[in-house]
Structure 1
Amino acid sequence: MRYSVGYQARPDWAEEIVRRRESVAEVYFAWPGVANGRGGAAVIAGEDEWREQEQMRAELSSIAQAGIDTNLLLNAMCYGAQSQARSFFMALGGIIDFVGRNWRTKSVTTTSPLIARFVHANFPGMEVRASVNMGVGSVEGMRTVEAYFDGFYLRRELNRHPAQIERMKKWCDENGKRLHFLANSGCVRDCAMHAFHDTLVAHEREIAQFDNAYAFEGVCWERLKAPGLREEYLQNATFVRPEDIGLYEEWFSVAKLATRTNRDPARVLEAYSNGRYRGSLPALMEPNHEGAFAPDILENSALPADFGRRVMECGQRCERCGACKKAFRDALRKGEGIVC
């Protein structure tokens, strides 16, 4: 398995990507100032935005020179009033033209069928992928938008449903499409707040200009901090551990790793490249919920060796089981973490 990893503006990360180029299939990135599906790049403005852009230009150039392809993220849940604006698409055209010529950008990931149509019309040969934020989870879902997209990111919740992966992969193979998946999402499955949270992220720049009455980090944090509910962490997760990535090689040759905001992206890539990891399991994920368990840590290496296969075969009948809760209790190490 090779990996698609997210860019962060830090020199040590760019150097690590180049060093591990045999494991890296591509690097995905967002353009500073353009709304996207993760916080950070959409908030900065003015001189800070230009500084980040300069650093990104240098680092993505070095990554491209190492022969690594890149993927442009235009995956915000909402582009607001400019969603259909001619000026918006003219600006996107300039960005796509630049990155395609300079950074080996071979694909775009988006949530917008209009952006998908624009890319196909103006950049022949540029692959367009449906973002994981769209929640595509069935053959019918893919058929609905097959005219717009060349590939589809699997809905997070289906990582533990091999029969559905098989159905979707078969349809993609028969229809000239590609199926992709995100391995290390820290999001809980079937989160009712996902659309709301992603929309807030898309509008971070505007939100930052106001005196805001409320903050919103996600309801997942509140639930995981509750002693009686944090034991549900494993059963409600969607991630694939490094030790279990081989179970997906019959369907995928590349796994996407969320690393754009992880505080140690090199650790994530190393863990998945090696197929094993000793340490706090949530630290490999994005979002990283290890602070909800502090000062305890959930030790990844203490989980059952067959954990991945077990959760792929169990059918998620959690109310009758208890295996994941027991695995959580057995792997929790008291007082070994850092209070966040």
Structure 2
Amino acid sequence: MRYSIATNWDLGLLDRLEGTPVEGLYGQIWGDPLGGGRMALFIPKVGKKEAAHFISETRKRGLGFNYLINGTCFDNLEFTKKAYREIAEHIEWIASTGADMVTVTLPFLVEMVKKEFSHLKVAASSFARVQNVHLANFWEEMGADKIILPESISRDFRSLHLIRDAVDCELELIANHCCLFQCFLDLHHRNMVSHGSQADHACGGFAPDYCKLACQRLKILKPVELIKSTWIRPEDVSLYEEVGIDCLKLVERFRGTESLLQIVHAYEKRNYDGNLVELLTLPQQGVFLTPNLEMIERTDLIEPEKMGEVMAVLREPFPGKVHIDNRKLDGFLEHFKKVDCLRMDCGRCGYCESVANRAISMDEQWRREMVGRFDRALEILTTGEIAGFKV
């Protein structure tokens, strides 16, 4: 199995990837005009000059670089005089850095890149939600060299087999994300983070993350959601090799170098004896880079003390309070080869609930307190308190 890892733009990360199965890195500058999958609040403040140098160093080491232009929406401006020129100039800059691939969500970008920048490979983003053969064929016919499949089908082995049999392009899955299974917040969240990362967007990078609040609350209220979330354990990599998955994508772009390397080594060894929470995209103390809080401390838009209350809830660390015993998950994925979760009532099945009962331990007092704090944070948003409306 090959791996693609997020970059935090730390040159020290490159040297320490030598000898690992990582084939390339992916990332995006801060204030990118096209935006992507992480808000400006979180990603490192790295501009074009620093990024170009980093990409050059990446290529010198024989690693690929996949530049992300996977925003879901360009405000319907993409075919206007000014915006089209900006898009073309930005891709021209990306090509000049030595990046060998771009990841896109919008189909017209595949056609544009293949016609105007033919030396660049193109990956269809997981945001494109290519979850069946029909969609996979469309993207490959348009020219996609890689399809990053959505997390929603990571345990749908029948669909994975069918897609693999249908297309010749590379297939990639995200390994350590912790999104809700069949997330009801998905469309809202993809658009939120896309606009929240675009330079010169009307929101100015401001985006109170209602979706993340609702998501984290459910994982604490119903711990089974942590099991249903379709992450891939290091121990189960071979099952995806058997399906024909070419590459696994390791996140997160705002993790520190030590944490990124911990993830790489766990998947390289195909073994992790610790708390699985530590490999996933859940809040952790000292693991993630400091957020760019000035993006949300906007007194012209919101009440700062209310935003502070919301952010404190979002940043509450899970390790120490939530433990997923990875050893108690050995063999649990075999079940998913025999069932169709997309068409099943989880309440009647009960499999993930039984796994959660044996593998997850959670501080009950903390759980109750946090559900209350999440409820309060969501109330601040949905009643308009954050905008100064009185309840």
TM-score (norm 1): 0.83
Instruction: State the 1:30 CA deviation.
Output: 1.5
Aligned with 2:123: secondary structure?
strand
Aligned match of 1:331: 359
Aligned with 1:121 (options 111, 115, 118): 115
Aligned with 1:26 (options 19, 24, 27): 24
Work out the CA distance in 1 between the residues paired with 2:49 and 2:165: 43
2:132 corresponds to 1:133: no
Aligned match of 1:142: 136
Instruction: State the 1:70 CA deviation.
Output: 1.0
Aligned with 1:157 (options 147, 152, 155): 152
Aligned match of 1:10: 10
Does the 8 A contact of 1:297 with 1:332 survive in 2?
A: yes
Structure 2 stretches of 5 or more lacking a match? Answer: 285-315, 371-391
2:327 corresponds to 1:302: yes
Instruction: State the 1:210 CA deviation.
Output: 9.0
Aligned with 2:252 (options 244, 250, 259): 259
Instruction: State the 1:135 CA deviation.
Output: 0.9
Q: How does 1:213-228 map to 2 (within 5 A)?
A: 216-226=211-221
Work out the CA distance in 1 between the residues paired with 2:54 and 2:248: 22
Q: How does 1:56-71 map to 2 (within 5 A)?
A: 56-71=51-66
Instruction: State the 1:140 CA deviation.
Output: 1.4
Which structure has the larger Rg? 2
Aligned with 2:240 (options 233, 248, 252): 248
Aligned with 1:82: secondary structure?
coil
69 and 212 in structure 1: CA distance in 2 versus 1, 3 angstrom threshold: closer
Instruction: State the 1:146 CA deviation.
Output: 4.2
Work out the CA distance in 2 between the residues paired with 1:85 and 1:300: 53
Could you tell me which amino acid in structure 2 is paired with residue 201 of structure 1?
V
169 and 209 in structure 1: CA distance in 2 versus 1, 3 angstrom threshold: closer
Work out the CA distance in 1 between the residues paired with 2:260 and 2:206: 33
Q: How does 1:161-310 map to 2 (within 5 A)?
A: 161-173=156-168, 177-204=169-196, 206=201, 209=204, 216-226=211-221, 229-234=222-227, 236-250=228-242, 251-263=244-256, 264-286=259-281, 288=282, 291=316, 293=318, 295-310=320-335
TM-score (norm 2): 0.73
Instruction: State the 1:207 CA deviation.
Output: 6.2
Instruction: State the 1:101 CA deviation.
Output: 4.2
Work out the CA distance in 1 between the residues paired with 2:123 and 2:157: 21
Structure 1 residues 205-233: Cα deviation after superposition (integer angstroms, max 9, x where no partner) = 5465499888553421121221xx12332
Q: How does 1:312-323 map to 2 (within 5 A)?
A: 312-316=337-341, 317=344, 318-323=346-351
Instruction: State the 1:23 CA deviation.
Output: 0.9
Aligned with 1:217: secondary structure?
helix
Structure 1 residues 179-204: Cα deviation after superposition (integer angstroms, max 9, x where no partner) = 32222221111111111011111121
Work out the CA distance in 2 between the residues paired with 1:69 and 1:321: 43
Aligned with 2:147: secondary structure?
strand
Structure 1 stretches of 5 or more lacking a match? Answer: none
Work out the CA distance in 2 between the residues paired with 1:59 and 1:24: 16
Instruction: State the 1:269 CA deviation.
Output: 1.2
Aligned match of 2:36: 37
User: Higher mean Cα deviation, 309-318 or 25-34?
Assistant: 309-318
213 and 308 in structure 1: CA distance in 2 versus 1, 3 angstrom threshold: closer
Work out the CA distance in 1 between the residues paired with 2:248 and 2:117: 25
Aligned with 1:311 (options 336, 342, 348): 336
Work out the CA distance in 2 between the residues paired with 1:89 and 1:31: 19
Does the 8 A contact of 1:32 with 1:42 survive in 2?
A: no
Instruction: State the 1:66 CA deviation.
Output: 0.3
Q: How many residues end up aligned between the 2 structures?
A: 325
Does the 8 A contact of 1:33 with 1:42 survive in 2?
A: no
Work out the CA distance in 2 between the residues paired with 1:321 and 1:289: 29
Aligned with 2:100: secondary structure?
strand
Q: How well do the aligned residues superpose, as a CA RMSD in angstroms?
A: 3.1
Does the 8 A contact of 1:36 with 1:42 survive in 2?
A: no
Instruction: State the 1:65 CA deviation.
Output: 0.7
Aligned with 1:108: secondary structure?
strand
Could you tell me which amino acid in structure 1 is paired with residue 218 of structure 2?
R
Aligned match of 2:383: none
Aligned with 2:248: secondary structure?
strand
